[in-house]
Amino acid sequence: MLIKSIKEMKEIIKEEKAKGKNVGLVPTMGYLHKGHVSLIRCSKKENDITVVSIFVNPIQFGKNEDLDKYPRDINRDFYFCKEEGVDYVFYPSYKEMYPEGYSTYVEVEGLTEGLCGAFRPGHFRGVTTVVNKLFNIVNPDRAYFGKKDYQQFKVIQKMVKDLNMDVEVVGCPLIREEDGLALSSRNKYLSSEQRKSALSLSKALFHAKKLFEKGETNPEKIKKEMEKLISSYPYVKDIQYIEIIHPETLKPKEKVEKGDVIALAVYVGDTRLIDNIKL
């Protein structure tokens, strides 16, 4: 069922909860792919009711980012959700979420400062604000996020802990195409030639993991090799960052250890791609 009104969504959830049902929420910006489907399947397995929200959240995009061209196809998304047995699709308008005079924001400090946060000022403030609103509207017992956005996943977990919210934040594995490309709605922007260059991200991550497994623990050496590999591909415009971080603090490591995460953001053409791997 497609729900556009906050009031209606809240009433439905109240009724479901009164019947003793627990609720899983999969927050998305639409243009669903197999990564989203895996989140939906996780939620279906663990909850009586699954809600998918579809909302391209303007306040998490910077001025020069891709808000206007972000891919949208609600009919296709709705069809996907139906196929997967989603109970409710929450699809609010901008005005419904941010009516005139809206002025409240949620901000997690610390974890949002490095990595993507350093290059996308205000991005995580937009994410935590909308996720907070979605949690208040859908009142989920569990909410599902992909670990492709590893920093986002940790930031949301921290928000829930710091604000004593009664929702379990579940992180689901990053899903790749067979050739290694991490699934993302933004892959749609890539031409077929650019897509070949986009493979450099996962290739560099796999290579780094091998180096570590062979005994390399110097982050600078690993990062240098990754940089060399990625920049050897055409269409790679800018390597924004390659960082080897602690999985909880997200702080760069001086000596690489098992369990650390390598995260990177790279522009291929005009498309900003992110990816990561856990060692």
42 binds ligand PAF (CB under 6 A): no
Shortest Å, Cβ 279 to ligand PAF: 24
Cα angle value 83/89/90 (rounded, 5°): 165
27 binds ligand PAF (CB under 6 A): yes
The end-to-end CA distance of the chain, in Å, is 41
- Give how far Cα 164 sits from Cα of 24, 108, 110, 151, 156, Å: 18, 13, 18, 20, 12
The one segment of 67-75, 127-135, 235-243, 248-256 that binds ligand PAF by CB under 6 A: 127-135
Active site residue 36: yes
Shortest Å, Cβ 248 to ligand PAF: 20
Nearest CB to ligand PAF, comparing residues 131 and 205? 131
Nearest CB to ligand PAF, comparing residues 29 and 42? 29
Choosing from 32, 131, 256, 273, the residue that interacts with ligand PAF (CB under 6 A) is: 131
Nearest CB to ligand PAF, comparing residues 29 and 268? 29
The one segment of 42-50, 126-134, 204-212, 223-231 that binds ligand PAF by CB under 6 A: 126-134
Question: 255 near 211, Cβ under 8 Å?
Answer: no
CB atoms within 10 A of CB 47: 19
43 binds ligand PAF (CB under 6 A): no
Question: 53 near 205, Cβ under 8 Å?
Answer: no
| Sheet-wide strand order for 261-268 | 236-245, 261-268, 271-278
Q: Name the site residues for ligand PAF (rule: CB under 6 A).
A: 27-29, 57, 60, 127, 130-131, 149, 152
